[in-house]
Structure 1
């Protein structure tokens, strides 16, 4: 193919009216239409050894009460398909928060979050702040609510290393502890799920101290819209990536991949050992 024919082919790509798509000059798809090669994004996530160690039934009961039991029972997520995530980002439009497919627009909804991961989507908004940077305060809070004191480096950066949280899961629990011990362990699990899969940061290995404030009260924890916060954070990071502001993409990309498999069956991987599901009509008494 000659250079002139390649240029004509590129001119045929993209929108008929370039003024319809807002921010198109900054969008990653603009490079594709210009013939500039693109690289796959890097997906940030961390779950440590959550699914590698046995979980005590009393700990799981507390996690259910806090609203994360459904997600935990989904099992360890599959590896992220970087090619798929990159392709979805290239079709993401920040103005409408939708993917532009040849068949029309589509997006991840609150219903998808609730159905796929079992997270609560109604309830109180998830907002918070760092109450203080006093080291002694965080030593006391972490010891009282998690059962251990953070390392000196963690206290300096106001972030737990996720490995320090994961190491707590290796400590085996017996059946004769006081209830607060099981609640402490449940908070560790929830922090890892929140900071590792739902709202991971750019480092992929740190969880801010202020996340703990949402897990101090078990009943209060269950009242938050965890699904709403997860979806909002995913939207924000898809917008950042679509406008080429970052190549290390954060957010619930595992959820996005599950959504793509569910909504686009042609790309769904085949299950080697499918689990049979017994369906019973709802009208059966």
Structure 2
């Protein structure tokens, strides 16, 4: 029997387990299509290692979030002036909450956005975290952006003579208001020209400004975009336009561009500037809703206020290590933040019911339920200038649906007409399954094993290396001698900081480092400096396949020095060496006293569980320092009184 086109759900009995592990349970589960039942041939979700956020902070790349617009007082006044007259039309067109949301200001936490971008995979349009896969979805566009997932395409032209006349009037106004000798007018000049003017086209002009400033800002920035005129004209007549897929498509596009430039910037010597036009405040709101670590307590909203009002002017939380906080967020990550009552004034949509629902699709679906169904469908997102693939079956737990192995999705169409036709096609299911809002979804055992195996493979590909900042005036020379007396401890991937280790103090205070016998360096007079850094990241091939290029992983070997080692130190060092994994390479770059580079590469065994032992060794060293200081003080002869 041929399965109907456009089927969303699949129901079957499976062995299910929590995504964090535990005892599996055999039960009936629902999955999003397409899914597969075999790991054979299924690509890993992880990519080869890329630069970490700790490295990216000092890269020659300046990111400007041009689409991250904040409202000024006159814009709020214009919204208030038109609210009573046009609010019914805004609700009919599905833009009421989006317009109300434009009154709120979201403070930018740039490190958080860059940290998320590091985890972005442009091939699947998802974030690949160590503990799971997640993404910004159409549901987020509805709840956070206030945009509709239903309606006509943003590329819909004007179709009547009246609409054409209004379009011509807006173009004439654009020429009149333009202040730069070209067909461009600033948001401010446009507002001053139309606000309170009594113009027949003030409503269309208002919507054109809103679209150009908050929804589809484009180059040149801060100017009215004439391509938004047809959309504004449709919306002013209460026609529903599917803004959600278009906005999400722009976000996916710019996240992919940001990830690409972050990676490329590791190879650049000169500062570069990247301008992003997508409304990235929605990405940060997505993170604030799901990562409690990165935000303060949300503001209590009043009746009818949109969800972004919870974050109005909320200050960012200072996080020293964003990447570590993201990587360790498994236990606190909120898969479904919108099903939790923010306060009594937050009204749940119909698809956040307390009980499980199976609604007939044959009958006409309620608009809210139809919107939820649209969020669950694999499709293509048509934007003003881009088309992006939408793969909700990879992040089913964000919708309260159980997760199985994600099936392959063919490449998307480059034709906006075909892509929109796919997006707007009818639902093939006879019934729409809606999970209870507080249901905690699980993953299949095969998914759990697949993710675990992928994690192990990814750890083996993580790059840990030691390096100093690039000196463009010098060509580093390679030191071929041995470094048998060096004890280099490289922390695991969960600690992506750079540490400056003073070799002089290490030798004198711990007796763990010997002398550089073959280099004959005067350590006491001119201490060496070794920079320890780690790097790791993720991305995938076209269908999510992992690239097979392995990177360097740290060694964790303690060499005996010329000095003696106390028993606790020796036992800890021996334990560190014994419990390492597979062999790999590590590169060590040492800065000589003559400011040149020395390099040494040695095959060693990586330790995947070293962090605790490293902390213990550091504690022992600190205790020994304190003990020696006290002993030195006690042995110091008392000063004679005069």
Distance in structure 1 (CA, Å) of the matches to 2:236 and 2:180: 28
Partner of 2:58 in structure 1?
37
Distance in structure 2 (CA, Å) of the matches to 1:272 and 1:116: 15
Q: Is the 8 A contact 2:89 2:236 kept in 1?
A: no
Partner of 2:247 in structure 1?
230
Q: TM-score, normalised by structure 2?
A: 0.34
Q: Is the 8 A contact 1:43 1:249 kept in 2?
A: yes
Q: Is the 8 A contact 1:202 1:249 kept in 2?
A: no
Give the alignment of 1:42-61 within 5 angstroms: 42-45=64-67, 46=69, 47-48=71-72, 49-53=74-78, 54-56=80-82, 57-61=84-88
Distance in structure 2 (CA, Å) of the matches to 1:280 and 1:19: 36
Q: State the Cα deviation string for residues 94-121 of structure 1 (Å, max 9, x = none).
A: 1111112232111100111112222111
Q: Is the 8 A contact 2:154 2:241 kept in 1?
A: yes
Partner of 2:638 in structure 1?
none
CA apart distance, 1:67: 2.8
CA apart distance, 1:147: 9.2
Which of 337, 344, 349 aligns to 1:277? It is 344
Deviates more, 1:203-212 or 1:90-99: 203-212
Partner of 2:556 in structure 1?
none
Distance in structure 1 (CA, Å) of the matches to 2:230 and 2:346: 41
CA apart distance, 1:81: 2.2
Partner of 1:64 in structure 2?
91
Q: Is the 8 A contact 2:203 2:236 kept in 1?
A: no
CA apart distance, 1:259: 1.0
Q: State the Cα deviation string for residues 228-276 of structure 1 (Å, max 9, x = none).
A: 1000011111111111186222202121111111122221222366655
Gaps of 5+ in 1: 1-17, 130-139, 174-179
Give the alignment of 1:64-213 within 5 angstroms: 64-74=91-101, 75-127=103-155, 141=166, 144=169, 148-151=173-176, 153=178, 157-168=182-193, 170-171=195-196, 181=200, 184-213=201-230
Partner of 1:215 in structure 2?
232
Between 1 and 2, higher relative CO (CA 8 Å, sep ≥ 6) is seen in: 1
CA apart distance, 1:277: 2.0
Q: The residue matched to 1:50 in structure 2 has which SS?
A: helix
Partner of 2:277 in structure 1?
250
Q: Is the 8 A contact 1:89 1:242 kept in 2?
A: yes
Distance in structure 2 (CA, Å) of the matches to 1:145 and 1:226: 21
Q: Is the 8 A contact 2:89 2:238 kept in 1?
A: no
Partner of 1:263 in structure 2?
290
CA apart distance, 1:19: 12
Instruction: Number of aligned residue pairs: give it.
Output: 245
Partner of 2:440 in structure 1?
none
Distance in structure 2 (CA, Å) of the matches to 1:32 and 1:84: 10
Deviates more, 1:225-234 or 1:140-149: 140-149
Q: The residue matched to 1:248 in structure 2 has which SS?
A: strand
Q: Is the 8 A contact 1:120 1:225 kept in 2?
A: yes
Deviates more, 1:84-93 or 1:199-208: 199-208
Partner of 2:453 in structure 1?
none
CA apart distance, 1:151: 3.4
Higher strand share: 2
CA apart distance, 1:87: 1.7
Higher helix share: 1
Q: The residue matched to 2:133 in structure 1 has which SS?
A: strand
RMSD: 3.8
Distance in structure 2 (CA, Å) of the matches to 1:55 and 1:121: 27
Q: TM-score, normalised by structure 1?
A: 0.69
